[in-house]
């Protein structure tokens, strides 16, 4: 036993971990802890141990991130698949067909194809289209208006308070749910007069990853429905 203890001490002083020493000498860690807890280590040995611990932590973090990414992808795929199956029943409602079609055309979808940002975001400048999409979201997507945020993108010469009041009336969303308005000039209209949108462009946003993938699933279902009904 004394010989094993001496070997353990020598290995520890070289910077080996308890696990490495255990694997070499087949001695329980509890015994090693008792033998080695007060053994002084050189700076070099301490550095070896610290480097190894850091590397192990990094490997564990990378693996955990990979596992979480794989789980998130599976959950997103399941949501999309289930939503695809919902289309057959929901397509009996014209508002559903119109809303999904408009989102397919005008909504944010990059999050389903590689982009890290995964948010429901529909943008348009037509008040009637925004009214229709609000009806779609309220009917099929949300339980409460508090889930909705609004942002206006407007030309710098437009009065911010006026456009926010306008879109608040159109959407029936209170002003305190409006994100800070972005003011920027349209490059294609710079130097021209009378070519700005009177009330800017409004974004309807819902920061709900599950809902985002559900809408993507509905779009996928719409594609299948189109072919099944003999579309081009």
The residue count of the chain comes to 232
For residues 178 and 230, the answer to whether their CB atoms sit within 8 Å is no
Residue 110: partners with Cβ closer than 8 Å, 6 or more residues away: 117
Structural domain spans, the chain? 2-69, 86-228
What sign does the dihedral 151-155-159-163 (CA atoms) show?
Answer: negative
Alpha carbons 164 and 22: distance in angstroms, whole number: 68
Element (H, E) at 99: helix 94-106
Rg (CA), the chain: 30
Give all strands (DSSP E) within the chain, no chain letters: 120-124, 149-154, 182-183, 201-206
- 147/184: higher pLDDT: 147
- 228/208: higher pLDDT: 208
What three-state secondary structure class fits 203?
strand
Is the pLDDT at 225 greater than 50? The verdict is: yes
What predicted TM-score, i.e. pTM, was given to this entire model? 0.65
- pLDDT attached to residue 72: 66
Average pLDDT of 95-117?
92
Is the pLDDT at 32 greater than 80? The verdict is: no
- pLDDT attached to residue 187: 55
Alpha carbons 36 and 13: distance in angstroms, whole number: 9
**Alpha-carbon distances of 81 from 141, 216, 217, rounded to whole Å:** 17, 10, 6
Average pLDDT of 166-176?
96
- pLDDT attached to residue 185: 62
Q: At which residue do the structure tokens 């946003």 appear? A: 205
- 174/232: higher pLDDT: 174
154 φ, ψ (degrees, to nearest 5) = -135, 160
Bridge partner list, 205: 121, 149
Q: What is the CATH number of domain 86-228?
A: 3.30.1330
**Alpha-carbon distances of 122 from 1, 15, 108, rounded to whole Å:** 73, 58, 6
Among 1-5, 121-125, 137-141, name the one with the lowest average pLDDT: 1-5
Among 3-12, 67-76, 217-226, name the one with the lowest average pLDDT: 67-76
Sheet of 149-154, strand order: 120-124, 201-206, 149-154, 182-183
Alpha carbons 163 and 185: distance in angstroms, whole number: 15
- pLDDT attached to residue 213: 94
pLDDT digits (tens, 9 = 90+) for 66-84: 676 677 678 888 888 898 8
């Amino acid at each position: 036993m004394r010989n094993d203890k001496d070997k353990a001490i020598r290995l520890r002083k070289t910077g080996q971990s308890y696990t490495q020493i255990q694997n070499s000498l087949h001695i329980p860690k509890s015994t090693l802890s008792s033998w080695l807890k007060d053994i002084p280590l050189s700076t070099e040995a301490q550095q070896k141990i610290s480097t190894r611990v850091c590397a192990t932590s990094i490997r564990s973090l990378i693996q955990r991130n990979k596992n979480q990414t794989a789980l998130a992808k599976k959950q997103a795929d399941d949501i999309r698949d289930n939503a695809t199956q919902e289309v057959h029943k929901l397509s009996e409602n014209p508002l559903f067909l119109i809303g999904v079609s408009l989102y397919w055309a005008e909504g944010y979808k990059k999050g389903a194809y590689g982009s890290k940002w995964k948010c429901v975001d529909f943008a348009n400048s037509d008040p009637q289209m925004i009214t229709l999409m609000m009806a779609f979201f309220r009917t099929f997507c949300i339980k409460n208006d508090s889930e909705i945020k609004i942002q206006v993108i407007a030309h710098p010469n437009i009065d911010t308070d006026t456009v926010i009041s306008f879109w608040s009336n159109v959407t029936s969303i209170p002003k305190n749910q409006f994100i800070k308005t972005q003011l920027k000039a349209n490059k294609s209209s710079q130097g021209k007069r009378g070519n700005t949108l009177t009330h800017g462009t409004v974004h309807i946003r819902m920061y709900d990853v599950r809902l985002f993938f559900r809408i993507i699933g509905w779009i996928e279902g719409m594609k299948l429905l189109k072919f099944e009904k003999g579309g081009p």
